[in-house]
Structure 1
Amino acid sequence: MGAKTARPNREQAVAVDPEGGVISARDVKAAREVAEDAMTEREFQRLANQITDELRDDDASLTRAARDRDRATPRDLSHVDSDRLRGELPAREEFREALSGRQRKIRSTVKNQVMASAPASQHAAIASMLTDEDPRDWRRINEGLHHAAGNVQQLADTDRAKVQRVDRAIQSYERLNDRTHRVYVAVKLPDNHRDVAKPEDLPANLQPGSTVAFDQFTLTRHNLHETPGHDSARHVVFEVVTSRGMYLGRSDSVEDTTHLLPRGMQFDVASADHVAYATRAGGFNERVVLQLRER
């Protein structure tokens, strides 16, 4: 018998999927290690969805309502016309202040306008997804969106309708809003990943220059100190500056700066650094923050 040829034992490359874990809370993303090939396949799916949406937009035989109904991801209706109200990702050394009472009040006023004019179906969808004590709809629908690379057309009809009602509420806010938002969201690391005490500890696919996609709806905070996991090395915190989404927080009387980002957002990781931020008690803390630049 001939000698056997030794074959190299090649381990499959893995990556950390920020939305791949089991959802335990609405306001924290749960990561999971997955095959790198699976992440690449989702990127191709997103590109295919984007091309299909753009081709449909050019089809003059369809009404605007029909084109929107059949889209994979929602249309961006946000705008910021004033340079004064258009923000950028802050410099590393800039202190992350808490959102002022005045800024909370401005955003809350727009939210109240949107909710006052929203139909009952949108109120019901928002309650089911965001405020019901049982988050089962949030979990099921966001998990479905993740598996579908953000394409709502792959969900069951009842879930698709619910998602698109939330989409329309967000778009109503985006039409009225006139400023950018600086918001934060944390991702809980897989148990087998080391703590992130410095930028070098980050997963390879979350280092600066990488891309990140939020196929799911994302609950964020304007205040870093309100973000669950802000003081934990088991969480990665993203910082985003965007005109997208809808403020769901309170006015100047209560410190609640919740902000809902739409599904189907894509980003480039711009930087990863230690930053200083205001705490609830009026002091300061430091942690590693990843800045995401919207595509």
Structure 2
Amino acid sequence: MGAKTIRPDRLDIEAGRITERDVKAAREVAEDVMNERDFARLATRIADELRDSDTSLTRAARDRDRATPRDLSHVESDRLRADPPEPSSFRRALSGRQRKVRSATKQKVLAAAPASQLQAARTMLTDEDYAAWQRINRQLHKGAGDVHQLSEDDRKTVQRLDRLIQSYERDNDRTHTVYVAVKLPENYPDARSDDDLPDTLQPGTAIHFDQFTVAHHNLHETPGHDNRRYLMFEITTSRGMYFGRSDSLDDTTHVLPRGMPLRVVGADSAPYDNGSKGFSEHPAIVQLRDS
């Protein structure tokens, strides 16, 4: 008998070819590959927890040796702590006041950041040549989020961007709801409704972002918001850093950290502000929270 063929049967959100910074390309992969990656994440999480308990190391050394960045986010005020939107409710654009508050925190963090962190942000997020973004995110996914699977230069770039995002998380005092575009594989059916979602995106399912993730506070800025070949992930979190503008121009960019565990809480179609004084509707908005 010949070797048994393993059918690709789980949708891996980050396994596809990276062609844009603010799109995650999904791909179907074998069940055993996904299981191996889940086990690797568990092993690195345990190792990070053990490392944190080692009092013989300085905090800086423990952070350098961690596989994934420490979560420094916090929201003390109930007024500033938000729940995910009601599943089918209207998704409004981020208000001018909310842009200004987040932008002020961003400017404070950037002004205090060392040149090495600013250069890491330029390399990963704004350089016209996004080869570093592709290479580093591809390797982060391959290594299940473990930064020590990267080359020494790439590890330094990643951890410098980690620290910049952590500085924002330390100063931020509110929850964010942001949107991430997930492009479906070519052999996958259109997302016409939440009934078309795979088992791996049903409520209660765990999702991991091994890579850095470019998100947007406004759904209409998110690539594929008007295309059934894309799912819209709606993430409610205190993690990440706002890189958008404070004025009325369409730029509410928000970068989520790597190594981010999430859990699906629901999915539905929903209307949203389309940025042209009207509204549109997306058939498959998948809601997630930190897990």
**Number of the residue aligned with 1:3:** none
Residue of structure 1 aligned with 2:128, choices 130, 133, 152: 133
**C-alpha separation in 2, matches of 1:24 and 1:38:** 23
**Number of the residue aligned with 2:163:** 168
**C-alpha separation in 1, matches of 2:195 and 2:234:** 18
Q: Deviations over 1:56-100 (max 9, x none)?
A: 000010000000000000001111110000011111132110000
> Contact 2:93/2:217 (CA < 8 Å) preserved in 1?
yes
Q: Which moved more, 1:177-186 or 1:90-99?
A: 90-99
Give the AA of the match of 1:143.
R
How far 1:255 moved relative to its partner?
Answer: 2.4
Tell me, what secondary structure is at the counterpart of 1:229? coil
1:238 matched to 2:227: no
**Number of the residue aligned with 1:114:** 109
Please identify the structure whose Cα radius of gyration is greater. 1
Residue of structure 2 aligned with 1:159, choices 140, 154, 158: 154
**C-alpha separation in 2, matches of 1:131 and 1:78:** 24
Question: Identity of counterpart residues, as a percentage?
Answer: 61
**C-alpha separation in 2, matches of 1:13 and 1:251:** 44
How far 1:294 moved relative to its partner?
Answer: 1.1
Residue of structure 2 aligned with 1:291, choices 271, 287, 290: 287
Q: Which portions of structure 1, spanning 4 or more consecutive aligned residues, are displaced by more than 3 angstroms?
A: none
**C-alpha separation in 2, matches of 1:161 and 1:104:** 30
Give the AA of the match of 2:25.
A
**Number of the residue aligned with 1:47:** 42
**Number of the residue aligned with 2:143:** 148
> Contact 1:31/1:190 (CA < 8 Å) preserved in 2?
yes
Give the AA of the match of 1:72.
A
TM-score, length basis structure 1? 0.95
Q: Report 1:80-95 matches (<5 A).
A: 80-95=75-90
Q: Which moved more, 1:250-259 or 1:79-88?
A: 250-259
**C-alpha separation in 2, matches of 1:25 and 1:93:** 28
Unpaired stretches in structure 2, ≥5 consecutive residues: none
**C-alpha separation in 1, matches of 2:248 and 2:227:** 28
1:197 matched to 2:213: no
Tell me, what secondary structure is at the counterpart of 1:276? strand
How far 1:13 moved relative to its partner?
Answer: 5.0
Tell me, what secondary structure is at the counterpart of 1:196? coil
Tell me, what secondary structure is at the counterpart of 2:231? strand
> Contact 1:102/1:252 (CA < 8 Å) preserved in 2?
no
Tell me, what secondary structure is at the counterpart of 2:48? helix
Q: Report 1:191-230 matches (<5 A).
A: 191-230=186-225
**C-alpha separation in 2, matches of 1:110 and 1:22:** 33
> Contact 2:214/2:253 (CA < 8 Å) preserved in 1?
yes
Aligned residues: 290
> Contact 1:150/1:264 (CA < 8 Å) preserved in 2?
yes
Residue of structure 2 aligned with 1:28, choices 10, 23, 27: 23
**C-alpha separation in 2, matches of 1:57 and 1:197:** 45
Give the AA of the match of 2:29.
V
Give the AA of the match of 1:59.
D
**Number of the residue aligned with 2:96:** 101
Quick one: structure 1 residues 135 and 13, their matched pair in 2 at CA, closer, same or farther if it must change by over 3 Å?
A: closer
> Contact 1:189/1:235 (CA < 8 Å) preserved in 2?
yes
Tell me, what secondary structure is at the counterpart of 1:114? helix
Quick one: structure 1 residues 189 and 174, their matched pair in 2 at CA, closer, same or farther if it must change by over 3 Å?
A: same
How far 1:55 moved relative to its partner?
Answer: 0.3
TM-score, length basis structure 2? 0.97
Structural RMSD (CA): 1.5
**C-alpha separation in 2, matches of 1:69 and 1:286:** 44
Q: Report 1:261-280 matches (<5 A).
A: 261-280=256-275
**Number of the residue aligned with 2:57:** 62
